[in-house]
A = this chain, B = another copy of it.
Amino acid sequence: MSTKERILDAARALFNAQNTQAATTNHIAAACHMSPGNLNYHYKNREAIVFALYEQMLSKTVLDEEDLPATMTSVHEHEQYLVGIYFEYRFFHRELLFLLSRDEMLKTRYIADNIAHRKRIAKVIEQLEENGYLKLPDASVGEYLCDTILLNTQFWESYLETLDRPVNESGIRSGFGHIQQAMRPYMTPKALQELETEAF
Indicate if the CB atoms of A163 and B111 lie closer than 8 Å. Answer: yes
Q: Would you list the 5 A-B pairs with minimal beta carbon distance, nearest first?
A: A185-B185, A155-B155, A144-B181, A98-B98, A111-B164
**A68 within 8 Å of B (CB atoms):** no
A19 close to chain B: CB less than 8 A = yes
**From residue A40, how far is it (CB to closest CB) to chain B in Å?**
25
Asked if B148 and A159 sit within 8 Å, CB to CB, the answer is no
How long is the Cα–Cα vector from A98 to B163 in the complex, in angstroms? 15
> A162 with B156: in contact, given A98-B97, A148-B178 (CB under 8 Å)?
no
A114 interface residue (CB < 8 Å to B)? yes
Contact A101 B154 (CB under 8 A): no
Q: Does A147 contact B (CB under 8 A)?
A: yes
CA distance A42 to B178 in the complex (A): 44
Q: Name A149-200 residues within 8 Å CB distance of B.
A: 150-152, 154-156, 158-159, 161-164, 178, 181-182, 185-186
C-alpha gap A150/B141 in the complex (Å): 20
Q: Indicate whether A140 reaches chain B with its CB closer than 8 angstroms.
A: yes
- Count the A residues whose beta carbon is within 8 Å of the partner chain — how many? 36
Asked whether A164 and B101 contact (CB < 8 A) given A178-B147, A181-B140, the answer is no
**Contact assessment for B159 and A147 in the assembled complex, using a CB-CB cutoff below 8 Å:** yes
* Set B96, B98, B178, B182: member contacting A101, Cβ < 8 A: B98
Answer whether A163 and B19 are a contact pair too, CB < 8 Å, given A97-B95, A148-B182, A151-B156.
no
Task: For the complex, give the distance between the alpha carbons of A114 and B97 in Å.
Answer: 20
What is the distance, in angstroms, from A65's C-beta to the closest C-beta of chain B?
20
Is A12 an interface position by the 8 A CB rule?
A: no
A 15-34 binary contact with B (CB < 8 Å = 1; else 0): 00001010000000000000
Measured between alpha carbons, how far is A106 from B164 in the docked complex, in Å? 13
Q: In the complex, what's the smallest C-beta–C-beta distance from A177 to chain B, in angstroms?
A: 9
A110 interface contact, C-beta 8 A: yes
